[in-house]
Amino acid sequence: MSLGNGRHYLAIPGPSVIPDRVLAAMHRPAPNIYHGELTEMVPGIVTDLKAVAGTKHHAAIYISNGHGVWEAALTNVFSRGDKVLVPATGTFSEGWAGMARALGIDAEVMDFGQRSAIDPARLAARLAADKSHEIKAVMTVQVDTSTSVKNDVAALRRVMDEVGHPALLMIDCIACLGCDDFQMDAWGVDVMVTGCQKGLMTPPGMGFVFFNDKADRARETANCVTPYWDWRPRVDPEMFYLYFCGTAPTHHLYGLRTALDMIAEEGLDNVLRRHAVLASAVWAAFDRWGEVGPLELNVPDPGARSHAVTSVRVGSAKSTALREWVEERAGLTLGIGLGMAPAGTPEWHHFFRVGHMGHVNAQMVLGALATVEAGLTAVGIEHAEGGVDAAARIVAREA
Ligand SMILES: *Cc1c(COP(=O)(O)O)cnc(C)c1O
């Protein structure tokens, strides 16, 4: 029988759970886009977005998903033939590199595998070898959503400075802004891209590019700039419609306004702390289950794990059976394994991911873990007893 009726938990790494308050804020008649409340609301949204990103510089809003702001960032700083270095820790860094190549940018991928963070020493050696400063930017993800590897962004900037390389540092925080700590200015990031549908708890449809004056100087000579993706008019609009190069994403803006209010009410530090504790509860459960049998977290080093998403290795082709069981029998949707093994192979079924980003609390995570434990038993994945207990102890200690 199914026990899945009741409130469903979509525990995939984006889009994330949408708060009822955000949905309610979007449930309204169409607002005027020429004057009044909506137009007055947008400057405050820009200010609050910058606070979450840790920057005093510029923020451009796009009607787009994450792929759109990838393209926006690329087109504003590069010319065809420019070289960009892409340290990769999974599918998403490679995806951004692929988009750069399609635009005629020479993207060199440095592969750091699927289970550990970018090694700053290797990056330093590659940059030091670039004596003529051909590399115009270092571009990567803070969190790769496929592997759940978290990179140490501040360390990347440190080695760039140590070797005296003038490249821009461009970071994709789509998976993790509002979940994992990120400080654009303090960490010396020149361009950051994110979307609204993960840590920012708003339905997919808006993307953001944050950039500083150094990046904006690259925009002066970039020959990939196109009218729609140009960030200039969006950050200094003479007319309201120029924020969005056309009609505003009216209802999304109301949703985002409410999501940013919720972050401010909780306090960003508390939001980040909540994600950290809930992530360690997830890790504790999988560590315990994995004491017997092949189940294991994808990232061995806790310091290189995201607080937004966790990738799991099942060690057999049973992850699809597990995902189907928890979804159909218990109302929990887990994320597919992405980019870990080629689609169509048995190995593709060896992985899954748990999203714990955004509007997620202890009872949701403990419920999800207990459901996974039931699923492990039901589909016959070998595991040690006591995973949920281990997670509950973390919650009891930290809450
Ligand atoms: C989700 C995600 C993307 C892609 O975002 P879309 O909205 O699906 O285009 C890119 N990078 C990272 C790190 C992500 O988590």
Separation of 269 CA from ligand 1 center, angstroms?
24
Rounded average pLDDT over 87-96: 97
* Rounded-to-integer distance, Cα 271 and Cα 356, Å: 12
Which pLDDT band, with edges at 50, 70 and 90, does 48 fall under? Answer: very high
Q: How confident is the model at residue 8 (pLDDT cuts 50, 70, 90)?
A: very high
17-44 residue pLDDT tens: 999 999 999 999 999 999 999 999 999 9
Residue 264 CB neighbour total at 10 angstroms:
13
Stretch 300-319: mean pLDDT: 97
Predicted confidence band of residue 154 (pLDDT cuts 50, 70, 90): very high
Using the mean position of ligand 1's atoms as its centre, give its distance from the Cα of residue 174 in Å: 5
Alpha helices in 81-235 (DSSP H): 91-102, 120-129, 153-162, 213-221, 232-235
Instruction: State the closest ligand 1 atom to the C-alpha of 68, by its place in the atom list counted from 1.
Output: 9
The best mutation among 69, 96, 145, 177 to test binding of ligand 1, ranked by most ligand atoms within 8 Å of the C-beta, falls on 145
Helix, strand counts (H, E) of the chain: 13, 14
Query: Scanning the structure block, which residue is given the tokens 């496929």?
Result: 146
> What is the per-residue pLDDT across 351-391, written as a single tens digit (0 to 9) for each?
999 999 999 999 999 999 999 999 999 999 999 999 999 99
Q: CB-based contacts of 79: which residues, under 8 Å, 6+ apart?
A: 221, 222, 223, 224
- Give kind and range of the element (H or E) at residue 253: helix 250-266
pLDDT for 339: 93
- Give mean pLDDT, residues 262-268: 98
- At 365 the pLDDT is 98
Residue 299 Cα, ligand 1 centroid: separation in angstroms? 20
- DSSP β-ladder status, 351-355 and 309-313: antiparallel
69, 96, 144, 174: which to mutate for ligand 1, most atoms within 8 A of CB? 174
Give the nearest ligand 1 atom to 67 CA.
Answer: 9
Q: Which pLDDT does position 13 carry in this prediction? A: 98
Give percent of the chain above pLDDT 90.
100
User: Helix 66-77 crosses helix 91-102 at what angle (to 10 degrees)?
Assistant: 50
pLDDT digits (tens, 9 = 90+) for 197-218: 999 999 999 999 999 999 999 9
Check pocket membership of 141 for ligand 1, CB cut-off 6 A. yes
